[in-house]
Amino acid sequence: MKGISLHIGINQVKYGTFPGSFPRLNGAEEDAASMYQLALDNGFQANEPILGNDATRDAVTKAISKIANELPEGGLFLLTYSGHGGQIKNPNNDPKEPYFQTWCLYDGNLVDKTLYGLWAKFKKDTRILVVSDSCYSGSVVQLMQQYCRQFYLARKLQEHFRTEANPVNESSATDTLATVIACVILFAGCQDDQKSKDSDPATGSPNSRFTTALLGVWNHGKFVGNHKQFLTAIQGSFSGDSLQIPNYFVTGTENEKFFNQKPFTIN
């Protein structure tokens, strides 16, 4: 079996790319570096993290497409993202789905539907594990449900970004969804309309709260259990905090063997 990973972290988006004020983050690029090290420790062919102004839409989509071409059937792709997230109006004015969820890359939105199209490039029985810590990230692997990320240090998109931002040349946002024959598992930082926190200097951790919890539960590979149990254990780290509850989400073609594996396991 083969495992390939890609890690994206963006503390600051390009000035003027998005409407409103985008506060600089503290932990996003640290999150990418930490997840890169986790991937190396677990035998992944880990690509160097794509950080800051290198994390453009073109760079990210090309990197994922390249991995889809390289990864054989049954292989594992680990994709992690930490940064701002948002919503854009559906240009089709669909009342059932008024907004698309996005990752806010350095130079513009990467729409959830575009990501779903990228999953469709992966071969049969490919396993994809996405770790997404951003606003509205709970649906970024598929077009449904909404999740929110907010931060200790003002990591919140302005409300008018949600209502006024346009697709920023994401023509694929209106394309027909492709068939995904891979299985995709998402670990998201929070539930619908909740807040997910950035790094907090008071804790001494350089990572966001979600990544800090994930790394703590993983405990250098000592965790025992499957993907769902892993996310449940992470949720336990948020006990007593009703404002942030991490989420587990699945899309694509079901793969019970993948579901029941220990996370980050290539073979």
pLDDT of 153 > 60? The answer is: no
Residues 6+ apart with CB under 8 A from 177: 113, 116, 117, 143
Secondary-structure breakdown of the chain: helix, strand, coil percentages, each rounded to the nearest 5: 30, 20, 50
Domains and CATH numbers, the chain: 3-259 (3.40.50.1460)
Give the percent of the chain with pLDDT over 90.
56
Q: Tokens 């007593």 map to which residue? A: 240
pLDDT of 44? 99
Check whether 208 has a pLDDT greater than 70: yes
Contact of 158 with 219, CB cutoff 8 Å: no
pLDDT digit string, tens, across residues 14-62: 988 887 777 888 899 999 999 999 999 999 999 999 999 999 999 999 9
Would you say residue 158 has pLDDT above 50? Answer: no
pLDDT at 64: 99
Residue in 84, 98, 197 with CA at minimum distance from that of residue 135? 84
Band the pLDDT of 240: cuts 50, 70, 90: confident
Mean predicted confidence (pLDDT) in 202-229? 93
Q: Mean pLDDT over residues 65-79, rounded?
A: 99
- How far apart (Å, rounded) are the C-alpha atoms in residues 235 and 93? 35
- 266, 76 Cβ separation under 8 angstroms: yes
Question: Other CB atoms closer than 10 Å to residue 93's CB: what's the count?
Answer: 8
Q: How far apart are CA 35 and CA 50, in angstroms?
A: 12
Q: What is the pLDDT of residues 88-145, one digit of tens each?
A: 777 788 777 777 778 899 999 998 889 999 999 999 999 999 998 876 555 555 533 3
Rounded CA gap, 145 and 147, in Å? 7
194 falls in which pLDDT band (50, 70, 90)? low
Does residue 222 register a pLDDT over 50?
yes
Percentage of the chain lying above the pLDDT 70 cut: 80
Mean pLDDT of 232-241: 88
Residue of higher predicted confidence among 168 and 178: 178
Q: Is 267 a residue whose pLDDT tops 60?
A: yes
